[in-house]
Amino acid sequence: MTNVGAGNGDRLAVLTQYRMATTEQMHRVIAPSVRIEQTRRRLARLRAEELVDRITLPQAGRTRVWFPTPYGVQLASEWPEMRGHRPSRTVSDPTAVRLKAGHTLTVTALAFLEDARRRGEMCQPLDWLTEVHHPIGSGEAVIPDALLYYKRGPADGDNGAMLRAFVEVDRATMGPERLAAKLPAYERLHRYVPTIPGRRRPSIGQKPELEDWRRHYPLFPRLLFVLDGTGPAGIENRVTALRAAARQLAPSRFLHDVPILAAPLADLLHHSPSAPVWRPVHDPDQRVHWTDSGHRQT
């Protein structure tokens, strides 16, 4: 098996996690303090070892996009920091890379990562996990575009709160109603208790079975919708659809317990994700910080 050096291993892990990235994006994620030529050399070395490959996009100035090969995915998946996370089946498919190259997931990840660095808080490159599978019964599942881990407070401290968020990046490739239809699926995940064959239902006086998500998270992750690919009118249509979907779910513990926020990607890039640019779907006239905990749904 190829002996991947520490620096190259970081790049392979990030590409497996993020699915694709340009050279500049890899440089900003992994090593913004060194010359970009070093990033280019390390990516070229990984390519020579057949762990990553690249395609050139016909648009966007013929930008080169890197992605891991099947062998690279296999190798990276064996590392301790990647265990328990199943990479997307399309992560090493160059056709899928080309079709998804306009996807703003990596841009969104960079926005959170660089914001944490500026604020001295903790969000590492591998704290952004794509397409984490969450079953909700009947063979169905919720698969957010990304799961974000973010630790507030000084990066070298132990007292900061750990925040988790499901991130849905919408590029306006589906109608507002289809986007809003994701809310009922998350509500199902919030209350889903798996049925174990042969186990009886709890009798009166016994503790009920716990929801499946509690095996993974101490609190249900907040839900962030990042909106892109449309103008102000399109953004409003999508926020309105999300608000309508939330109203149809009320009353619900999910709406009470979980902050559900939406923001245009342009605002995240212009102001930063930590700025008060997020709109609670139950009251979209508000503008809040995504890290706030006091704006619960009603």
Per-residue pLDDT, averaged over 214-240, amounts to 95
* pLDDT of 143 above 80: yes
Distance CA 23, CA 65 (A): 7
| Per-residue pLDDT, 1 | 38
Residue 125's pLDDT band (boundaries 50, 70, 90)? very high
Distance, in Å, from the CA atom of 184 to the CA atom of 150, rounded to the nearest integer, reads 25
The residue written with tokens 């990030």 in the block is 14
36-48 vs 23-30: helix crossing angle, rounded to 10: 110
Contact (CB, 8 A) for 161 and 151: yes
DSSP 33-83: TS-HHHHHHHHHHHHHTTSEEEEE-SSTTT-EEEEE-HHHHHHHHTSGGGT
Residue 261 reports pLDDT greater than 60: yes
Closest by Cα among 98, 78, 97, 96 to 86: 78
97: confidence class by pLDDT, cuts 50, 70, 90: low
Which of 15-29, 186-200, 275-289 is the least confident region? 186-200
The whole-angstrom separation of Cα 183 and Cα 22 is 32
Residues 297 and 256 sit within 8 Å (Cβ to Cβ): yes
Rounded CA-CA distance 229/239 in Å is 14
* Predicted confidence (pLDDT) at residue 2 exceeds the cutoff of 50: no
Question: Does the structure show a pLDDT above 60 at 272?
Answer: yes
DSSP annotation of 272: -
Residue 46 has pLDDT above 90, yes or no: yes
Between 20 and 36, the higher pLDDT residue = 36
pLDDT of residue 203: 54
Higher pLDDT, 186 or 18: 186
pLDDT band at 160 (very low <50, low <70, confident <90, very high): confident
Question: 58-92 pLDDT, tens per residue?
Answer: 665 677 889 899 899 888 888 777 766 666 555 66
Considering the chain, what percentage of its residues have pLDDT values greater than 70? Answer: 80
Is a pLDDT exceeding 50 seen at residue 6? no
Cα separation of the two ends of the chain: 54
Percent of the chain with pLDDT over 90: 58
Strand extents, DSSP E, 210-267: 222-227, 260-264
Please determine, for residue 57, whether its predicted confidence score (pLDDT) is greater than 90. Answer: no
Mean pLDDT across the stretch 93-118?
77
Check residue 131 and give its pLDDT: 84
Q: Poorest-confidence range of 104-113, 198-207, 218-227?
A: 198-207
- pTM higher than the cut 0.85: yes
Q: What is the mean pLDDT of the chain?
A: 85
